Amino acid sequence: MPERIIVPFGPQHPVLPEPIHLDLVLEDETVVEAIPSIGYIHRGLERLIEKREFTEYVYVAERICGICSFMHALCYSQGIEEIMKIEVPDRARYLRTIWSETSRLHSHLLWLGLFADGMGFENLFMRSWRLRESVLDVLEDTSGGRVIQGTCKVGGVRRDIGAEKLAEMHRALDPFEEQCRDLGDVFLNDETVKYRLQGLGVVGKDDAYALGAVGPTVRASGVAIDHRETGYAAYGDLGFKPVVETAGDCYARCAVRVKEVYASIDLIRRAIDQIPEGPLDVKVRGTPDGEYFSRVEQPRGEVIHYLRGNGTKHLTRARIRTPTLANIPILVKMLPNAQLADVPVVVLSIDPCISCTER
């Protein structure tokens, strides 16, 4: 039997923009066990709920993560709105959907670039991030912020996107989709990419479900869970079907995200077509008294904000369960039998977001 050695992976590693640590137990070059640890950048953001008024905490929520910033604010706001029985105006629901899907585009294109970089395909990395740049330009144009949008609030949204700007976005979607499909064609059909990804980090449907995985990670194993199906924001009006693959390997996880880029473009297009005129917000009266588990589908999967108020302007508890935290168990199951050189690709395939995880 080969000698077992432990190789530390992270917390600082070229493929990890944020710190997570894995102790990799190896026999020769083969991983036999992976033991994760987190907590290098724990910020205690949940505790801040006791110091900020419930309307102000949106600013904190959107700073949990720099990639799915808008969707954290949305999840928090929807939770408060549910507790306080606030009906959000239709136009605000559509604008929330447009910004959510634009954020998903930004996140998936960011991930595709990082994934290409992890595979050693530098040219593909540059192509992905060039497209991402144009998405960031749209976010900046419509919200004023490339990373933190600051547009979501309890009761609606803070700013509108004018008809002219929406028409401009709509016109830009066709050439943008064409470029994304060119890019996706490489990820889905290039022989070197397939050779690198297929059969790597395989998790079957039953295991993925039992391990509580979420997002593209679980959908790539054939489980059709996507919270947009519950119809929050304007998803109920637009209609939505989850993107599902069945192979459960790194290639399938990549394919789900590539196809979700196309789905997001389609959702934005239909949201722009159908967005109604009307107010952007409603006045928030009173204070939250009650509790709710608010759930939203982020780019990495289902995020949960558990919110609890006691009728004062400060909530008593915010507990945030982020998708990466839910995907750590499946990552631990993916790694055994992988080669050491494949570990960065397998780790990246769950799209880990550590700033979310740490809160």
Partner 1 sequence: MTVNAEQTTISVAPEDLMREVEGLQAGGYRLVQIGCTDIGGAYEVNYSFDRDYQYRNLRLTLGPDTEIPSISGIYWGAFVYENEMHDLFGIPVVGINIDFKGTFIKTAEKYPFSVTRRGGDQCRNA
Neighbours of 255 (CB within 10 A): 22
Binding to partner 1, residues 114-153 (CB under 8 A): none
Residue 261 near partner 1 by CB under 8 A:
no
| Contacts for 317 with CB less than 8 Å, ≥ 6 apart | 46, 49, 306, 307, 308
Stretch touching partner 1 by CB under 8 A, among 60-68, 153-161, 232-240, 258-266 = 232-240
Neighbours of 90 (CB within 10 A): 16
Binding to partner 1, residues 183-222 (CB under 8 A): 209-213
Helix 90-119 to helix 163-189 angle (10° resolution) is 30
State the binding string over 18-37 for partner 1 (x if CB under 8 A, else -): -----------------x-x
Stretch touching partner 1 by CB under 8 A, among 63-71, 91-99, 223-231, 242-250 = 223-231
Apex 159 CA angle, 155 and 160, nearest 5? 110
Q: What is the DSSP letter of 25?
A: E
| Contacts for 172 with CB less than 8 Å, ≥ 6 apart | 134, 138
The residue within the footprint of partner 1, chosen from 55, 321, 336, 340 (CB under 8 A), is 321
Q: Give the tokens for residue 325.
A: 């935290």
Residue 314 near partner 1 by CB under 8 A:
no
Q: State the DSSP H helix or E strand holding residue 174, giving kind and residue range, or none if neither.
A: helix 163-189
The residue within the footprint of partner 1, chosen from 2, 17, 39, 278 (CB under 8 A), is 39
Residue 13 near partner 1 by CB under 8 A:
no
The residue within the footprint of partner 1, chosen from 72, 269, 300, 308 (CB under 8 A), is 308
Distances (CA, A) of 289 to 100, 156, 320: 27, 19, 19
Distance in Å, CB of 42 to partner 1, minimum = 6
The residue within the footprint of partner 1, chosen from 160, 177, 229, 281 (CB under 8 A), is 229
Total residues contacting partner 1 by CB under 8 A comes to 35
Residue 81 near partner 1 by CB under 8 A:
no
The residue within the footprint of partner 1, chosen from 139, 169, 304, 338 (CB under 8 A), is 304
Q: Which is nearer to partner 1, 117 or 351 (CB)?
A: 351
Q: Give the tokens for residue 4.
A: 């077992």
Distance in Å, CB of 323 to partner 1, minimum = 11
Handedness of CA 165, 171, 175, 180 (dihedral sign): positive
Distances (CA, A) of 92 to 97, 151, 154, 234: 9, 10, 11, 9
The residue within the footprint of partner 1, chosen from 245, 249, 302, 351 (CB under 8 A), is 302
Distance in Å, CB of 116 to partner 1, minimum = 29
Distance from the first to the final alpha carbon of the chain: 42
Residue 43 near partner 1 by CB under 8 A:
no
Binding to partner 1, residues 274-293 (CB under 8 A): 292-293
Q: What is the 3-state secondary structure (H, E, C) of 224-248?
A: CCCHHHHCCCCHHHHCCCCCCCCCC
Q: State the DSSP H helix or E strand holding residue 21, giving kind and residue range, or none if neither.
A: strand 21-27
Binding residues for partner 1 (CB under 8 A): 35, 37-40, 42, 209-213, 227, 229-231, 235-236, 239, 292-293, 295, 302, 304, 306, 308, 316-317, 319, 321, 325-326, 328-330, 332
